[in-house]
Structure 1
């Protein structure tokens, strides 16, 4: 790890290069570089095929981002989250900007970035709670400078918190559902939470909540990132695990009580979901 204050014709930058452990590279989210800069002149920074993800905050000034064949205008209060494997550049305007940035990576990042995009997340966002993002960056910068022996684990948790903030902000305004539709979806999900032991069909849900079943299928997945059947199965498996741990009921009975049509089907789904049988899961606890 190196900590350097860089003074140049283009920028003044306080940056830290970070070398994660092999354990972190294989198992955690980890930072590669973190810093802040003040542009001294209008300039362009261009990259492609970089094994990294980039998040930055525009503290002041203006600039542009070219990414994924689109050009975005940036101003104070905007944040950027992009996959640096793709070509991109960002450029300060004559109203010179100040940025805070972090380059990071991890084996789970492709899935996280995909989930962000599935939820409607855009490369550029203007958070409602920018303060939270600044706090997240400050914590990352502070931890990266520390000599704590569990620093990589702490950075992993802090990057996960940054990703949580980004996912919470990931709905693009043009892709938000009308409030009434969102309320219907919340009611529908509550219904699934409460009626999971019953036989539930898409036709029944569409009739109960007065939504076309094809439209319902699409907006549920757009909103929650999984199909109705996937969510219902997740609820059933969660309740089955509770019964396996905290009761002595036979496994076959538990499957039927949680809405699975047969003991065999329950056994198959449980193993696919948890990687072990219901009997093995019970013995673990």
Structure 2
């Protein structure tokens, strides 16, 4: 089993010629959700130290509880977000730095530095909370000074801090336990429908059953049994939204041998019986703002498509993310245009028919340079005209075989949507021909659920 990106990854550190250069130091007061924190330093290694409070840290697509006294190491390119409950706060110190390895010339007269990446990431705490606070405070104080001598001191203190945080023989047992624990959690993610026992998981982690249960609950906030039950319930809700299978069959598919036990567990966690939940999912609703999504939740209605990033709290993200099939981006992150391929040229569709599904039902924004289509249902353009719009994403409705001429066009290939693989090719029949009717709109929404989330 392999640990996924964002979880704890360990490797052997070679100290020969290793050198680190501090680039930025700041203290972060987290009083509300902070999505995409530290984007300006995303190309650096980052050490996030929790000084006070508690919350959640999301590294790439994985979310972990974090509390004071913990330190997390991020590799270049990894995204980072903080989420807290409304009544809590979290104070962190963030250090951004580059890592180099030196190579000495044969005559010993010159040294060349090569940028490198550390062989591990994730939680790296091996120091006490007071020691971490003192070290970060000292580095931050020295870094705030602009003179070269103080900055040099901050650099040397970073080297010493990282030396103490990197895996060593004193931390090996604890870190190995956490790594193997994470591997068993990932195993459960992929085998939740199978039969398993605490003894089997503990043996996989190389721990005693009692210590495994203690460590699992301490690390993930719930027992292994509750964790698997949540996985099964989440999968069951997905299956309920996909078709008309019987409760008995859904229970069997997610790992429950007794449909009545499944129903009790489902109602215990969701507050409603599985049959009631299935009926509510027949009403397909797409929302384009988190406030509207939250209001629908109060009415026990879960959206079929909604923006989950970046404004939900950690609680809502963890509880409802699995219920919503399509996780839309923030409405202001990407612009959309929908075209009809025609022998006369590409038609830009307006706010009727298929266009209304994108712009009205899903609330997706048009590019600022898009022609006004209020007076017309569609506007005839040329391929060159599309380059002036240059949307982030494109939906092209085309007759059979009509998309190939676009794919072969150098102008089409120059669009940023093409370069980023964000063009969705759909047949005009039925998505254009029937998009003026309710059933046609629902069919297009169903298809977009599968395409926009790729």
TM-score (norm 1): 0.43
The answer to which structure has the higher helix fraction is 1
If asked which structure has higher relative contact order (CA below 8 Å, sep 6+), I would say: 1
